[in-house]
Chain A
Amino acid sequence: QVQLQQSGPGLVKPSQTLFLTCDISGDSVSSNRAAWNWFRQSPSRGLEWLGRTHFRSKWFHEYAQSVKSRIIINPDTSKNQFSLQLRSVTPEDTAVYYCALSNGPGWFDPWGQGTLVTVSS
Chain B
Amino acid sequence: DIVMTQSPDSLAVSLGERATINCKSSQSVLYSSNKKNYLAWYQQKPGQPPKVIIYWASTRESGVPDRFSGSGSGTDFTLTISSLQAEDVAVYYCQQYYDTPSSFGQGTKLEIK
Contacts and interface: CB of A to CB of B under 8 A. Distances in A.
Interface of A: 46-49, 62, 64-65, 98, 100, 102, 105-114
Nearest to B36: A105
B49 A112 contact: yes
Given A98-B49, A112-B49, A114-B49, A107 B40 contact: yes
Given A107-B40, A107-B55, A114-B49, A46 B107 contact: yes
Interface of B: 36, 38, 40, 48-52, 55, 61, 93, 95, 97, 100-104, 106-107
Summarize B's interface: helix, strand, loop or mixed.
Answer: loop
Contact of A111 (B36, B40, B50): B50
Contacts of B38: 105-106
Summarize A's interface: helix, strand, loop or mixed.
Answer: strand
B104 A47 contact: yes
B52 A108 contact: yes
16 contacts: A46-B104, A47-B50, A47-B93, A47-B104, A47-B107, A49-B101, A49-B103, A62-B100, A64-B101, A65-B101, A105-B55, A105-B97, A107-B95, A110-B49, A111-B50, A114-B48
Contacts of A113: 49
Contacts of B36: 105
